[in-house]
Amino acid sequence: MTTVQARAGRTEPDGAPPPRTAAEILARARAVAPRLRERSAEIERARHLPADVVELLRGTGAFRMTFPRSWGGPELTSVEQTEVIEALSYGDASAGWCAMIGADTGLHVAFLEESVARRMFPSVDTVTAGLLFPVGRAERVAGGYRLSGRWQFGSGITHCDWVASGAFIYRDGQPEPSPAGDPHDSRIMMVPRGQVEIIDTWHTTGLAGSGSCDYAISDVFVPEEHTFSFDTVRSGGGPLAQPEAFMRNMPGVPLGVARAALDHVRGIATTRVHKPTGARWADNYRIQVTLAECEADFAATRSAVYGSLRRQWEVLSGGGTLDDLSPDERAALPLSRLHCFRTARTIVTRLYDLLQTGSIYRPGPMDRWLRDTTTMCQHIVAQDRILQSAGAHLLGGRPDFRLCLGLVD
C-alpha cells in the first residue's frame, strides 16, 4: 500500500501558452500521439503514466477541455472532446483513457456551488479520478460526512488532484432514504488525493498504463459542500451540465486504437511480399477483403458515435433537454457507445489474425491493442446492461442503468 501526497501546479511544454480553442487542443493531441506511441511499452511496464507523460497530456489541454468559458476554459463540445481523446488514443490507449478520465473535472463544476468549485479547482488543468458508483459508506455528521471504503478502478489516481467517490449515506448507523423516496440515498464525495490510499492491484490484461488501482479512504471528513449528486445542477448550465456528460467522449479511446491498428496493418500490407512466391500482400484477396470489412465497420461505428453526439448537442445547445430527444435518439447515445467499444475489439482481433504470428510478440503494438481493447470492453459502457437499458427505454420499460440515458430520477 502507498499513501499518496497532493500535488499542485502545472507546466507548459517549451514555455508555450496554454491552448484555448478546440482546434489548438486537437492539434496538440495529434502532435503528441507519435511520442505517446514511442512510450507505449514503457507506460505499460510502469502500470501508470510517468510524470512527464502526464505533463505532456496536460500541455495538450486535454484536462481542461470541459471547463466552462466563464472559468477561462475552452468548453469543448462533446464531439470535440471525443476527437481529442481519439487523437491521444491513436498514440496510446492508456494515455487516452487517463485523459478521458482526467477531463471530467470541468464537468463536476456544474454540480458544485461555484464559489466552492473555484476554491477546489484553482486551475482549469486540475485532474480528478475515482469511481462514481456508490461503494463507500458516508455517515452524516455535523457539517458533512465521515467517509470510509474501498473502491476499484481509480483510473489516473496516481496523478490526480481530487478523488471523486460514490458512497451510500447513513445517519446514526442506518441507511438514509433519498428525498425522492429511494430506500438508500447516495452522493459523490470529493476528497483531496493526499487523503487517499492507493492499493497496488492493477496487474491486468490491458490498459495497464492507466494505473486504475484500487484505493481506500478511512474515516475522512468530507464537508457537505464537497459532495454532489447528478440530479442537481448548482452553477452554470448548458449542454455539459448533464448527468451523463462524462460518458460521451469515452468512444474516443476505442476509435483511436482501432484506427491505429488499421493504419498499422495497411502500412504492412502495402510493402510486404510473400517470400516463397514474391506475391505482394496488397494483391492478396484475403488481405484486401479483411481490411475492407474492417474499414467498413470502423466507418459505420464512428459515424454512429459522432452522429448521435451531434444530434444531442443540437438539441441541448438550442435550449432543449435530454427529454426533447426522441426515444430512438436518446437510446442511440449509449448504443453507439457500446457498439463502438465492441466493434473496435472485433476490428483489432481480425487484424491480429490477419498478421498471424507477426502479431504475437511483445512489445509489438498488435499484441498490446488486442489486450487493451479486450480490457476496455469489460467496462460497464460495453456490457449487456446497456443493451437492456436502451431496449427498455425504447419499449417504455424501466432501464436497469438509467444514468447511461441521462435519467437520474
* CA distance readout (Å), 89 to 25, 46, 79, 140, 186: 14, 18, 15, 41, 33
Residue 51 CB contacts under 8 Å (≥ 6 apart), including other chains: 159
Chain CA centroid to CA 375, Å? 13
Q: How far apart are the first and last CA of the chain?
A: 38
Interatomic CA distance for residues 243 and 246, integer angstroms: 8
* CA distance readout (Å), 298 to 79, 82, 257, 354: 17, 15, 11, 17
pLDDT in tens, the chain (409 residues): 333 333 333 445 456 788 999 999 999 999 999 999 999 999 999 999 999 999 999 999 999 999 999 999 999 999 999 999 999 999 999 999 999 999 999 999 999 999 999 999 999 999 999 999 999 999 999 999 999 999 999 999 999 999 999 999 999 999 999 887 789 999 999 999 999 999 999 999 999 999 999 999 999 999 999 999 999 999 999 999 999 999 999 999 999 999 999 999 999 999 999 888 888 999 999 999 999 999 999 999 999 999 999 999 999 999 999 999 999 999 999 999 999 999 999 999 999 999 999 899 988 899 999 999 999 999 999 999 999 999 999 999 999 999 999 999 7
Any idea where the domains of the chain sit in the sequence?
A: 2-120, 128-228, 251-405
Residue 38 CB contacts under 8 Å (≥ 6 apart), including other chains: none
Max intra-chain CA distance, the chain: 80
**Of the candidates 161, 22, 13, 19, the residue with the CA atom closest to the CA atom of residue 87:** 22
- Residue carrying the nine cell digits 459508506: 137
**Of the candidates 333, 351, 337, 348, the residue with the CA atom closest to the CA atom of residue 383:** 337
Chain CA centroid to CA 79, Å? 14
What pTM does this model have?
0.94
Respond yes or no on whether the N-terminal peptide bond of residue 363 is cis (omega within 30° of 0). Answer: yes
CATH class name, domain 128-228? mainly beta
Provide the angle, in degrees to the nearest 10, between the axes of the packed helices 365-376 and 252-269: 150
pLDDT at residue 13, rounded to an integer: 47
Q: Within 13 Å, how many C-alpha atoms sit on residue 347's CB side?
A: 34
Interatomic CA distance for residues 308 and 335, integer angstroms: 10
Residue 83, exposed/middle/buried by CB under 10 A (0-12, 13-18, 19+)? buried
Please work out, in degrees rounded to the nearest 5, the angle formed at the alpha carbon of residue 123 by the alpha carbons of 130 and 239.
70
8 Å CB contact between 349 and 401: no
Quick one: CATH architecture of 251-405? Up-down Bundle (1.20)
pLDDT at residue 303, rounded to an integer: 98
User: Does CATH place domain 2-120 in 3.30.450.20?
Assistant: no
